[in-house]
Amino acid sequence: MSNISSVLEEKRLFPPAADFVGNARLDADSLAELKAAAQKDPSGFWAGLARRELAWQTPFTQVLDDSRAPNYAWFADGRTNASANCLDRHLGERGDKVAIRFEGEQGDTRNWTYRELHAEVCRLANGLKSLGVTKGDRVVIYMPHTPEAVIAMQACARIGALHSIVFGGFSAGALRDRIDDASARLVITADGGWRGGNIIELKKAVDEALSSGCKSIEKVVVFRRSGHEVAFDDSRDVWWHELVATQATACDPEWVEAEHPLFLLYTSGSTGKPKGIQHSTGGYLLGAHMTMQWVFDIRDDDVFWCTADVGWITGHTYVCYGPLSNGATILIYEGAPTVPDAGRFWKICQDQGVTIFYTAPTAIRALMKLGEQWPAKYDLSKLRLLGSVGEPINPEAWMWYHRVIGREKLPIVDTWWQTETGAVMMSPVPGATATKPGSCTQPLPGIFAEVVDEAGERVQGTEAGGYLVITQPWPSMLRTIWGDNERYIQTYWAQFKNRYYVAGDSTHRDADGYYWIMGRVDDVLNVSGHRLGTMEIESALVSHARVAEAAVVGRPHEVKGESVFAFVTCNGERPQGDEAEALIKELRAHVGKEIGALAKPDEIRFADNLPKTRSGKIMRRLLRSVAKGEQITQDVSTLENPGIVAQLQGKA
Ligand code: WT7
């Protein structure tokens, strides 16, 4: 893999800049102290932080409960509330501080102070209660990336309801499946959201989802955002503004056990069915809270911009819970990075006074391609820290970020983590860690990573390659998969006999103990930082009447990281020429309808059959080589019809 060879040749080292170190929350010595304390007594270390950093209604006496491992519990006899931690405790000192700065794609702006945000959250929380939502109920949020999405999350947390956000780019079908799996009682949506000058028809998708299932849904709360006309079912639908109009601006938080689930978030795995990752309240919040300090060095005068949509875990932890629990000011931008032109992100950084900017490598690569003249137009001098997340960042993109956006002096934190881990696990600590382009460096305090081989044995030595595992439970880890604890155990623990959490990534650890993430070892793709299961796309394809069988693989892509490549066999004759063209169009639209535009295959090729081993397993490695356009070196003599290789290559 070119990725592996290029990162393994990467020898540049960037020590933290002296002026950053001088003001940083953590320098090398204080980081070493934290790591030593965590090493000595991991659960005691986390307990100390949980007591000091979070607000508890009932203090906990239990710390880590491993009696039902690998279902771990943290701080189980304590009671807290995530919304009280994010809002109420700042009202005294930071009531008039801006919590959210918002900018819409069309240029509309609005700010919310902590006091205003608290009032809005309470009004919606009371509104939800008036609709019968209570502790433990599931509420699906299908919203544009606006402050109201954060208000909806906080309102759920406030009353102990579990939110399950479905990214607005998912289709009605995907929304329906997630609503059904969670048996959600209520959906919070908007008439529409803005993206690239177009209105995303969210309410319409909800109506479609509800017409084909979702029997558990009682009410749909609709926020008016785009203002265009939408169908409205008076017996079921409620306008947000009407719901909250008469509600009080105070609402006592529901104090929940630390282990009470805060939210579900569906993510893709190796099967066709997405899994509802279940996070806790206390442990999750502690991870979100501490990593804002350790990784992002958050300060009261920062304007923190995490560009991720609230529909992804990054948006949960670093748009909503982490920054707000620290009383920080966040920026939310609803829209595309290139509207009205390729300078939009940098103009926002300038106009909104952004100090910390956190985005994905795919965005960095896309902006890099658009040229240096765009960032050069704007004053980026307020920026003091840059971050990257979601996929391996190639050294070239890292160096561009460093040179063009970071003025060759800003620290870059390349943060490795997952939906399942809840918070950043491995990352540089900006005032302490020397960085290497392409490496997420080392685990944070209290996080213990290892490299193991096929047999689960730790790989020793200075240059180690293998499976990335986490050897000790940590507070913000997922608790289970909603409704399927067996799948939780099988997916994350069974491979090495429940000894380690198996991340599903392969990794390399160099002589300095730095980790380099090499990518997924399962059938999960990472397309523009979005996680997609190959099986999900395959089952979407085979649900089309013309498709008999489908195999989906990832192909390296300059900007997106990976692109979706599908090989398809049809019922009836293999389509060719115009017929093939037309069917490709139809299948792309079909996948868009089944899952969402983000999953549409970039390329589709038809063959008479798919290459399989004698035991009937699809030869994915062969298909990956074909997708890349590589010379085929695998033995294809066992294929039923070796002639199909030419078809797969598009040559016959
Ligand atoms: C997978 C998790 C939580 C972040 C958003 C994506 C890949 C994530 C990095 C990084 C290399 C990374 C891994 C991981 N990944 N961050 N800094 N360097 N790879 O969350 O959708 O749960 O995907 O994203 O492969 O397993 P996700």
**Residues 187-224 pLDDT 10s:** 999 999 998 889 999 999 999 999 999 999 999 999 99
Residue of 253, 255, 327 lying closest to 56 (CA atoms): 255
Q: Which numbered atom of ligand 1 lies nearest the CA of 426? A: 17
Lowest mean pLDDT segment, chosen from 6-10, 184-188, 284-288, 438-442: 6-10
What tens digit of pLDDT does each residue of 235-259 get?
A: 999 999 999 999 999 999 999 999 9
* Residue 425 alpha carbon to ligand 1 centre in Å: 10
CB atoms within 10 A of CB 578: 8
Predicted local distance difference test score (pLDDT) of residue 2: 42
Q: Whose CA is nearest to atom 1 of ligand 1?
A: 418
Taking the centre of ligand 1 as the mean of its atom positions, its distance from the CA of residue 587, in whole angstroms, is: 28
pLDDT digits (tens, 9 = 90+) for 83-139: 999 999 999 999 999 999 999 999 999 999 999 999 999 999 999 999 999 999 999
Closest residue to atom 2 of ligand 1, CA basis: 418
Residue 246 to residue 242: CA distance in whole angstroms = 8
Beta-strand (E) ranges in 492-538?
501-509, 515-520, 524-527, 530-533
Q: Beta-strand (E) ranges in 52-118?
A: 64-65, 73-74, 79-80, 98-104, 109-113
Two structure tokens written together for 219:
């009410």
Task: Kindly give the number of the ligand 1 atom that is closest to the alpha carbon of 415.
Answer: 17
d(CA 265, CA 184): 13
How far, in Å, from the CA of 399 to the mean position of ligand 1?
20
pLDDT of 291 reads 98
Q: Residues with Cβ within 6 A of ligand 1?
A: 267, 313-314, 389-392, 414-419, 440, 503-505, 517, 520, 526, 531
* Residue 358 Cα to ligand 1 middle (Å): 14
Q: What is the pLDDT of residues 389-446, one digit of tens each?
A: 999 999 999 999 999 999 999 999 999 999 999 999 999 999 999 999 999 999 999 9
Q: How far does CA 433 lie from the centroid of its chain?
A: 24
Q: Which two tokens stand for residue 424?
A: 């950043």
- Checking if the pLDDT of 11 tops 90, the result is no
Residue 583 Cα to ligand 1 middle (Å): 33
Q: Does residue 593 have a pLDDT over 90? A: yes
pLDDT tens, 490-529?
999 999 999 999 999 999 999 999 999 999 998 899 999 8
pLDDT value, residue 635: 80
Task: Find all residues with CB under 8 Å of 268, minimum gap 6, and list them.
Answer: 274, 275, 524, 531, 532, 533, 536
Query: What's the CA-to-centroid distance between 305 and ligand 1, angstroms?
Result: 19
- Which atom of ligand 1 has the smallest separation from the CA of 317? 3
* Cα separation, 242 vs 503, whole angstroms: 45
Write down the mean pLDDT value for the chain. 95
Q: Which atom of ligand 1 is nearest to the CA of 519?
A: 25
CA distances from 569 to 157, 548, 588, 634 (A): 47, 5, 15, 21
